[in-house]
């Protein structure tokens, strides 16, 4: 646990008052983290926080382990303590235990933490223990800059429960220096008769990944491989599977549920679209690096970010890691939407539609919330607001290991990345456009499953798909097993209870 | 002091026992009869529904139990053989005897989770040093992602970590053996192999049984190695009972059901170890 005790906020206020103008330089001198931007005016800016006085009060935060999200939590806690005089205790917890570490005291009626960090898909199970975000924060200018997708992700039935601090989505990352290389384009054409381009479908992805698998295509003396993916059981692999499934299974002409048929609450997870995706994924075990079937998220980031593979898809971190100054492949990578498919399953007609389909997966990501039983609601919300203020946010998204990614409209400007992070203008433009398109351009998005017992559903997917990847079961058998398990979970928790919660996510998808 | 006073003095101890042993077990029993989960956090009463589910509709638990049996029996057997061998080496007066005794204990003194992370790094199939070395011989075993080999990898880590414990107990046993039977064997002209099989091994049987049972109890709880090394994968290839109970309890938050799993597992373990202990006594002591 990190204990951070601040100097009096009042003394800083006095200092600020003496310096007749609250300039950006004044705050960036004290807090070098925001040296690129200085303080940016707003409700929760450094200037505004310095006017608060929380001396003698203690804020306790449960967050993720360092560095991802844990490091920025601790850094902003230190800054918050210095500005307001509060004492801030930061407790770091491994990702797998974040849910239970908060849930156990929640269920016992205890409030050991004022703020809990977690994933946004915890919302249904956690919401009754969390304090909704007060209107004054929801309506502030800082919040108006948050994209609608991330307002939705952090809200339940129109009420904001979690505070937006991060943005997450799955998208394709590829080696631009290979895909755009005329020599390789010619070689690929000669050997396969096809164009080497940013893959538009998962089939193209597989063909290119297989072609570039197991040889030294970047002449660094090491073997390179086709794709790095999160395939390790129980290490967020189910999210990777859903990313591969959306193109085959999310039909924009069919409303009423992606994971379940909302009317009957029958699982759709073993439908032909999902089976096709899992078949592709099993095939992918042939073009991942040796041991790739055991890659967790960290391995995926290191593998693609370290220049080992042609492709990758998951959260932003692998891309940001690849574009950091110390990366061997800085300015050699590209971002694109997740590949699509040449056909999409129509569960109503019970047949494939032979038409191109693509669907962004707005996967869950980091978020934070204030415990209902906390006695420090105002201070806790001020901390979260300060965490996500414009100056902190812009500094945070430039540091890959922080795990803070774009979720504000102002983040999707290419010049931001060119000027502050030294990205190639073309790559920055492509990155910003890809993310923005997913946020606001698509009308066929899939939102994460957010229902009671979400972990039971996701755990069943992880077990079933990992059996298929390991060759223990065929894709159809594996997903039949998952569907059978899902039915049992629905029966245990109650179809109406699940339906009520699932309808909220379906409404977001169907409103498009 | 009358009879009542005796009970008064026993009371603090009994209360502590109640608090740390009886209450948790009693609460687990009660929990196992409820449907407590993330959605419904309450001690409702659903009878033996969780147990019915376990015995009629949860093949995964029994598969995990089979895997656990294989892993624990194999690793404990290997630990016993290697540990006994090492103990015999440093039992006699050899050069650097103290150094070797400490050296052999080092794995046991390290933190299992940290060491497993290091082993995982060693065995990382594309970035780890083991395959890097083996690649010079055009060999690249899939230590963590092959269904068969991943079990072997878990065994390697377990044997490395816990052989010192076996070594420690067996060495203590060897050092406490009486000298007379060895003198008698020597006078009768027995060589080292006959002495081992007819004197050392039978004399060590009670200690060996104790050491094996202790290690079996510990090995049957194998969790951290699996969690860090493979997460039970690939597929469910290395998933053990305790890891499965962990998933149901602290990943899926099915507290009621995981309590039923834990109690069933506890009862199976008690019965199994009773039978194993009797078999070992029969084989190693009475067989003599």
Residue among B26, B75, B117 at smallest CA distance from B221: B75
Percent residues over pLDDT 70 in chain B: 98
In a domain, A474, yes or no: no
Interchain CB distance below 8 Å, B232 and A233: yes
Interchain CB distance below 8 Å, A290 and B41: no
Distance (Å) from the alpha carbon of A150 to chain B's nearest alpha carbon: 25
Q: Last residue of a domain, which of A331, A363, A395?
A: A363
Task: Calculate mean pLDDT across residues B110-131.
Answer: 91
Q: Do the beta carbons of residue A404 and residue A393 sit within 8 Å? A: yes
Residue among A59, A41, A60 at smallest CA distance from A49: A41
Residues A145 and A211 in one domain: no
Residues A186 and A308 in one domain: yes
Residues A248 and A382 in one domain: no
Residues A135 and A20 in one domain: yes
Q: Residue A439: what pLDDT? A: 79
Cα dist. A191→A178, A199, A214, A344, B191 in Å?
16, 17, 16, 29, 72
Determine which helix (DSSP H) or strand (DSSP E) holds A427, and give its type and residue range: helix A425-436
Interchain CB distance below 8 Å, B236 and A472: yes
DSSP secondary structure string, A17-38?
HHSSS--HHHHHHH-GGGTTT-
In a domain, A429, yes or no: no
Mutate to test the interface with A, among B123, B227, B251, B254 (most CBs of A within 10 A): B251
Average pLDDT score over chain B: 91
B57, B131, B251: residue with CB nearest A290? B131
Residue B216 makes CB contacts below 8 A (sequence gap 6+) with: B72, B73, B76, B273, B276
Distance (Å) from the alpha carbon of B226 to chain A's nearest alpha carbon: 12
Q: Provide the token pair at A241.
A: 């599977």
C-alpha–C-alpha distance, residues B38 and B252, integer Å: 8
Q: List residues of chain A with CB under 8 Å from any CB of chain B.
A: 96-97, 99-100, 103, 107, 125, 225, 232-235, 289-294, 296, 299, 302-303, 308, 452-453, 455-456, 459, 463, 466-473, 488, 492-493, 497
How many structural domains are present in chain A? 2
Q: Do the beta carbons of residue B83 and residue B89 sit within 8 Å? A: no
Q: Provide the token pair at A55.
A: 């001396």
Interchain CB distance below 8 Å, A294 and B125: yes
Helix then strand then coil, % of chain B, to nearest 5: 75, 0, 25
Q: Last residue of a domain, which of A363, A395, A415?
A: A363
Q: Provide the token pair at B28.
A: 């687990």
Q: Do the beta carbons of residue B37 and residue B46 sit within 8 Å? A: no
Collect all residues of chain A within an 8 Å Cβ-Cβ radius of residue B231. 232-235, 296
Range of the domain at A231: 171-252+287-363
Q: List residues of chain B with CB under 8 Å from any CB of chain A.
A: 35, 37-41, 57, 60, 124-127, 131, 140, 142-145, 147, 230-237, 247, 250-254
Residue A343 makes CB contacts below 8 A (sequence gap 6+) with: A248, A352, A353, A354, A355, A357
Interchain CB distance below 8 Å, A233 and B235: yes
Collect all residues of chain B within an 8 Å Cβ-Cβ radius of residue A303. 126-127
Domains of chain B: 1-31 (no CATH), 60-286 (1.10.3720.10)
Collect all residues of chain B within an 8 Å Cβ-Cβ radius of residue A502. none
Residue among A33, A7, A10, A8 at smallest CA distance from A404: A33
Which value does ipTM take for this structure?
Answer: 0.82
Residues A330 and A340 in one domain: yes
Residues A105 and A128 in one domain: yes
Task: Classify residue B272 as exposed, middle or buried by CB count within 10 Å of its CB (0-12, 13-18, 19+).
Answer: middle
Residues A357 and A369 in one domain: no
In a domain, A137, yes or no: yes
Per-residue pLDDT tens over the stretch B150-209: 999 999 999 999 999 999 999 999 999 999 999 999 999 999 999 999 999 999 999 999
Q: Residue A21: what pLDDT? A: 38
C-alpha–C-alpha distance, residues A174 and A69, integer Å: 25
Q: Last residue of a domain, which of A330, A363, A396?
A: A363
Per-residue pLDDT tens over the stretch A378-400: 999 999 999 999 999 999 988 87
CB atoms within 10 A of CB B284: 17
Q: Classify strands A130-131 and A366-371 as parallel, antiparallel or unpaired.
A: antiparallel
The SS3 of residue B125 is coil
Interchain CB distance below 8 Å, B145 and A291: yes
Residues A81 and A189 in one domain: no
A103, A290, A453: residue with CB nearest B140? A290
Interchain CB distance below 8 Å, A456 and B124: no
First-to-last alpha carbon distance for chain B, in angstroms, is 50
Interchain CB distance below 8 Å, A453 and B252: yes
A292, A294, A302: residue with CB nearest B233? A294
In a domain, A23, yes or no: yes
Residues A187 and A197 in one domain: yes
Q: Provide the token pair at B10.
A: 């026993």
Q: Residue A142: what pLDDT? A: 94
Per-residue pLDDT tens over the stretch B72-83: 999 999 999 999
DSSP secondary structure string, A186-224?
HHHHHHHSS--SS-SBHHHHHHHHHHTSSB-TT-SSS-B
Collect all residues of chain A within an 8 Å Cβ-Cβ radius of residue B31. none
DSSP secondary structure string, B54-77?
HHHH-HHHHHHHHHHHHHHHHHHH
Q: Do the beta carbons of residue A255 and residue A510 sit within 8 Å? A: yes
Q: Do the beta carbons of residue A247 and residue A339 sit within 8 Å? A: yes
Q: Residue A18: what pLDDT? A: 36
Q: Provide the token pair at A332.
A: 């050699």
Q: What is the dihedral of CA A17, A21, A27, A30, to 10 degrees?
A: -60
Distance (Å) from the alpha carbon of A205 to chain B's nearest alpha carbon: 22
Q: Residue A10: what pLDDT? A: 40
Residues A53 and A96 in one domain: yes
Contacts 24+ apart (CB under 8 A), B242-248: B242/B68, B243/B64, B244/B60, B244/B61, B244/B64, B247/A234, B247/A459
Residues A43 and A158 in one domain: yes
Q: Residue A419: what pLDDT? A: 86
Distance (Å) from the alpha carbon of B269 to chain A's nearest alpha carbon: 26
Task: Identify the CATH number of the domain in which residue A242 sits.
Answer: 3.40.190.10
Q: Do the beta carbons of residue A409 and residue A415 sit within 8 Å? A: no
Burial string for A200-234 (b: 16+ CB within 10 Å, else e) reads bbbbbbbbbbbbbbeeebbeeeeebbbbbbbbbbb
Cα dist. A30→A33, A39, A140, A224 in Å?
9, 11, 26, 45
**Residue A447 DSSP symbol:** P
Cα dist. A59→A67, A411, A442 in Å?
20, 29, 40
Q: Do the beta carbons of residue A271 and residue A211 sit within 8 Å? A: no
The SS3 of residue A338 is coil
In a domain, A486, yes or no: no
> What φ, ψ does residue A349 adopt, rounded to 5°?
-80, -15
Mutate to test the interface with A, among B38, B134, B223 (most CBs of A within 10 A): B38
Q: Per this entry, what is the length of chain A? A: 512
A100, A296, A467: residue with CB nearest B253? A100
In a domain, A41, yes or no: yes
Interchain CB distance below 8 Å, B235 and A292: no
C-alpha–C-alpha distance, residues A378 and A386, integer Å: 12
Interchain CB distance below 8 Å, A294 and B127: no
Q: Provide the token pair at A336.
A: 């694109």
Distance (Å) from the alpha carbon of A260 to chain B's nearest alpha carbon: 19
Distance (Å) from the alpha carbon of A502 to chain B's nearest alpha carbon: 14
State the 10-residue block means of pLDDT for chain A, 512 residues long. Answer: 50 39 68 92 95 97 92 97 97 86 89 94 91 97 92 91 93 96 97 96 98 95 94 85 97 95 96 98 96 87 91 90 89 96 97 95 89 96 97 89 90 89 93 87 86 90 94 96 96 94 90 68
In a domain, A279, yes or no: no
In a domain, A199, yes or no: yes
Is the N-terminal amide bond of B29 cis, ω within 30° of 0? Answer: no
Average pLDDT score over chain A: 91
Residues A247 and A315 in one domain: yes
Place of tokens 């956690």: A126
B39, B60, B145: residue with CB nearest A453? B39
């Amino acid at each position: 646990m990190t204990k951070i005790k601040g100097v009096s906020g009042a003394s800083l206020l006095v200092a600020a008052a003496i310096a007749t103008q609250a300039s950006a330089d004044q705050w960036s001198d004290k807090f070098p983290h925001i040296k690129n931007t200085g303080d940016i005016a707003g409700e929760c800016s450094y200037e505004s926080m310095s006017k608060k006085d929380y001396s003698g009060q203690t804020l306790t935060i449960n967050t993720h382990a360092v560095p991802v999200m844990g490091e920025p939590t601790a850094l902003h806690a230190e800054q918050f303590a210095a500005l307001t005089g509060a004492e801030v205790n930061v407790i770091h917890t491994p990702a797998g235990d974040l849910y239970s570490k908060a849930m156990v005291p929640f269920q016992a009626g205890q409030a050991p933490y004022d703020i809990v960090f977690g994933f946004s898909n915890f919302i249904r199970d956690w919401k009754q223990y969390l304090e909704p975000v007060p209107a004054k924060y929801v309506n502030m200018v800082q919040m108006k800059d948050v994209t609608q997708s991330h307002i939705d992700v952090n809200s339940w039935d129109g009420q904001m429960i979690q505070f937006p601090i991060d943005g997450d989505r799955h998208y394709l990352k590829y080696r631009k220096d290979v895909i755009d290389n005329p020599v390789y384009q010619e070689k690929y054409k000669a050997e396969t008769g096809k164009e080497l381009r940013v893959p538009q479908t998962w089939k193209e992805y597989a063909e290119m990944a297989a072609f570039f698998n197991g040889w030294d295509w970047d002449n660094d003396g090491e073997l390179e491989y086709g794709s790095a993916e999160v395939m390790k059981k129980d290490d967020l692999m189910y999210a990777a599977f859903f990313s591969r499934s959306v193109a085959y299974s999310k039909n924009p002409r069919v409303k009423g549920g992606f994971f379940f048929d909302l009317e009957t609450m029958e699982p759709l997870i073993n439908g032909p679209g999902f089976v096709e995706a899992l078949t592709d994924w099993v095939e992918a075990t042939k073009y991942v690096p040796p041991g790739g079937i055991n890659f967790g998220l960290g391995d995926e980031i290191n593998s693609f970010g370290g220049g080992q593979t042609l492709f990758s898809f998951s959260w932003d971190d692998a891309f940001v890691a690849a574009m950091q100054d110390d990366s061997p492949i800085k300015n050699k990578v590209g971002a694109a939407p997740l590949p699509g498919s040449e056909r999409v399953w129509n569960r109503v007609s019970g047949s494939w539609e032979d038409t191109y389909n693509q669907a962004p997966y707005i996967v869950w990501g980091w978020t934070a919330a204030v415990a209902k039983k906390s006695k420090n609601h105002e201070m806790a919300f001020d901390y979260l607001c300060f965490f996500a203020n414009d100056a902190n946010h812009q500094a945070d998204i430039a540091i890959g290991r922080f795990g803070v990614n774009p979720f504000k409209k102002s983040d999707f400007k290419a010049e931001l990345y060119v000027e502050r992070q030294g990205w190639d203008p073309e790559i920055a433009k492509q990155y910003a456009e890809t993310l923005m398109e997913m946020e606001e351009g698509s009308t066929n998005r899939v939102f994460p499953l957010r229902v009671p017992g979400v972990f039971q559903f996701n755990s069943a997917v992880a077990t079933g798909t990992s059996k298929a990847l390991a060759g223990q079961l065929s894709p159809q058998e594996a997903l039949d097993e998952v569907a059978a398990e899902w039915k049992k979970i629905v029966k245990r928790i109650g179809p109406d209870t699940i339906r009520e919660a699932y309808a909220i996510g379906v409404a977001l998808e169907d409103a498009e | 002091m009358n009879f009542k006073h005796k009970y008064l003095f026993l009371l603090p101890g009994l209360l502590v026992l109640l608090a740390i042993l009886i209450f948790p077990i009693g609460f687990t029993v009660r929990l196992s009869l409820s449907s407590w989960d993330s959605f419904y956090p309450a001690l409702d009463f659903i009878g033996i529904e969780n147990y019915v589910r376990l015995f009629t509709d949860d093949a995964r638990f029994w598969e995990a139990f089979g895997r656990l049996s294989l892993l624990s029996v194999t690793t404990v057997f290997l630990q016993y053989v290697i540990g006994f061998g090492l103990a015999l080496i440093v039992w006699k007066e050899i050069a650097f005897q103290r150094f070797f005794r400490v050296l052999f204990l080092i794995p046991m003194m390290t933190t299992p989770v940290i060491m497993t992370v290091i082993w995982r790094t060693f065995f990382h199939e594309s970035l780890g040093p083991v395959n890097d070395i083996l690649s010079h011989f055009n060999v690249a075993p899939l230590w963590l992602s092959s269904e068969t080999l991943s079990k072997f990898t878990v065994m390697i880590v377990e044997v490395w970590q816990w052989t010192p414990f076996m070594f420690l107990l067996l060495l203590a046993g060897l050092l406490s053996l009486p000298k007379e039977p060895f003198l008698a064997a020597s006078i009768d002209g027995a060589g080292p192999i006959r002495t081992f099989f007819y004197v050392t091994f039978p004399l060590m049987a009670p200690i060996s049984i104790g050491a094996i049972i202790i290690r079996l109890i510990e090995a049957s709880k194998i969790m951290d190695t699996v969690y860090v090394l493979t997460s039970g994968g690939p597929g469910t290839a290395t998933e053990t009972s305790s890891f499965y109970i962990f998933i149901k309890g602290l990943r899926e938050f099915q507290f009621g059901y995981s309590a039923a799993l834990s109690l069933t597992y506890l009862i199976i373990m008690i019965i199994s170890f009773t039978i194993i202990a009797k078999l070992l006594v029969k084989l190693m002591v009475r067989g003599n």
